[in-house]
Amino acid sequence: MTNRHDLEIFVDRLFANQRRTKEVVELKNEVLSNLEARVTDYMENGMNYQSAISLAIDNIEDIEFLIDDNQKIYSYRYRYDLVQSALIYSLLAWIASIPARILPSGIAVNGLLLCLVVLSGVVYLSMSRNLKVYEKQTAVINAGKLFKWSKAAWGLWGIFVIVVSAYSFAMQFGSDVWFGRELRIDGPYSFYVTVLQYAIPLTSIFIPLLIHKACKLTIKHEVNEQ
C-alpha cells in the first residue's frame, strides 16, 4: 500500500500555478493515479517505499507539456459579458474622472472615457437583441495565453502609473529637489490640483481589470460536454 497523502502533497505542489479548470482537475487526478500505480509496482518488485516514491516522482513528465490550454467556451455569451464589464468599468472610471475636469489633461481623459462608455453601451445593447439567437454559439480560446496577458497587463499598468507619477513629480517639484529647496504646496486648491495629477492615471485601471475579467469568464462560460 502506498501513502496517498505523500503523493497528494507532491501533486498539489506540481499543479500549484495552474488554473483550476475541469481539464486541469482531471489531469491532476490522472497524474496522482499513475504515481500510485508506479509506486505500488516498484514496491511489489522489492523496492522500499521511499525509493519507490523518489523514482516515481523523478520519472513524472513536465505538466507544461501535458496541459492543453485550449478551452471551448460559449463565445457569444462570453463576449456579451465582457462588453457588459467594459461598460461598467468605463462608466465607473468616467464618474471618477469628473472632478479632474478642472485640468486640461482631466478634460481629455474624461472625454475619452465618455466615448468608451457610449461605444460599449451601444455594442452591449446591440448584442442584447441577439443573445437568445446566438447564446449556444461556441469557439475555442487559449485560456493559458489569456492568463499570461492578464499578468502582463497588470505589470504594464503598474509601470505606466509609476512613470507618469514620476514625470508629474519631476515637473512640479524637480527644480526644488535639484536646488535643495523645501517642497511646498500653496493652499487647498494647489493641493487638490496636485492630488488630481497623480489620480488621473489611476483611472486606466479598468484596462487590466477588463483583461482579468476576460480570464475569469472563460471558466464561467466553459462548455461542459459531459
| Inter-residue contact 66 to 27 (CB < 8 Å) | yes
Give residue 180's pLDDT: 84
Quote the distance between the C-alpha of residue 7 and its chain's center: 30
3-class secondary-structure state, position 129: helix
Give residue 31's pLDDT: 82
Backbone φ and ψ of 142, nearest 5°: -85, 95
Give residue 55's pLDDT: 82
- pTM for this prediction: 0.68
Give residue 8's pLDDT: 83
CA distance 72 to 140: 4
| Inter-residue contact 217 to 78 (CB < 8 Å) | yes
Q: One digit per residue, pLDDT tens: the chain, 226 residues?
A: 445 677 888 888 877 766 676 777 777 888 888 888 888 888 888 888 888 888 888 766 555 545 556 678 999 999 999 999 999 999 999 999 999 999 999 999 999 999 999 999 999 999 999 999 998 999 888 787 888 899 999 999 999 999 999 998 998 888 888 888 888 888 888 888 888 889 999 999 999 999 999 999 998 998 875 5
Give residue 126's pLDDT: 96
**Residue boundaries of the structural domains of the chain:** 2-67, 72-221
Give residue 49's pLDDT: 83
3-class secondary-structure state, position 38: helix
| Inter-residue contact 110 to 97 (CB < 8 Å) | yes
